[in-house]
Every structure is written in structure tokens, then in C-alpha cells.
Structure 1
Amino acid sequence: VGDSAFTILKRYQHLRPIGSGAQGIVCAACDTTTNTNVAIKKLSRPFQNVTHAKRAYREFVLMKLVNHKNII
């Protein structure tokens, strides 16, 4: 997708970019197992340096706390 390579499970099809920013790129896809639309975020170079690693870790921790049916 764009200049970014995505390696995802085969159940996610029709990947298309919907946004990007300093942290990475977000793509929409169809989950063929549940037949629902999903968003998949790929962080760009999360371990490039200590600052990027801390940001990635902080995002992972926060996302783990989110309890919503549309977020996995």
C-alpha cells in the first residue's frame, strides 16, 4: 500500500489506505471471516530509536485498555 509493505493474514482483503501521519499508515480492509470492515494500522519504524520505541509501546499499552467491539 503506497510505499509501505503490509504483511497481514489472508482473512483481510481489499486493503486500501485511508490515512497516514507521523506514526504510520492506516488502511481499511474487509475481514472475510466476520464479513466486516476493519482498520489496520502499521507503525512506521517503531524501533528506529528509543523515542519511537517509547511511542509505540505507549500506543500498545493504551490500545490494550480500550474496550470497544470495533477495536481488536
Structure 2
Amino acid sequence: MQSFYSVEINKTEWNVPGRYQMLTPVGSGAYGQVCSAVDTLNNTKVAIKKLARPFQTAVHAKRTYRELRMLKVIG
């Protein structure tokens, strides 16, 4: 079972899997915050985005869906 830990960054609590360490803030905007971290399983740097209220309204849900689709195409 995967373990998670909590860390507070810019007054926001992040609950992330234990494999991601050394979270550092990269930026924030209207949609949420982005942090960089190190994936200890692959020893690579990754970006983690925390969306603020991703399903609060239909507009937010569409933005979230659009972002996930873009990540699928890019990744």
C-alpha cells in the first residue's frame, strides 16, 4: 500500500505519495499551484500541480478535463 505524507507550501496543505520528496514551490495562479519534486523511484525531477476546486462548477470541470487531455497528449 502506498504511503502519503503532508507538507504545507504557501499556506496550502499538500498530501503527496512518499516517493516524491523535496517539494519546492514553482508558481501559482488562478487554477492552482505547481511544485517541483524528486521521484525517488526513478531519481528524476517531476512537476506536481494541485488544482484549486477542480470540480466546483461546470467551467472548472471543463478546465480540469482540458488540462488532463493536454497532459495526455504531451506525455
1:28 & 1:64 partners in 2: Cα distance? Answer: 19
1:3 & 1:49 partners in 2: Cα distance? Answer: 24
- TM norm structure 2: 0.81
Q: CA deviation at 1:65?
A: 1.1
Counterpart position of 1:60: 68
1:5 and 2:6 matched: no
Runs (5+) with no aligned partner, structure 2 = 1-8
The number of residue pairs the alignment matches comes to 67
- TM norm structure 1: 0.84
Percent of pairs with identical residues: 52
Letter of the aligned partner of 1:54 in structure 2?
Answer: K
Taking the TM superposition and a 5 Å limit, the aligned residue runs for 1:40-59 are: 40-59=48-67
1:22 & 1:38 partners in 2: Cα distance? Answer: 21
RMSD of aligned Cα (Å):
1.0
Runs of 4+ off more than 4 Å = none
1:36 and 2:44 matched: yes
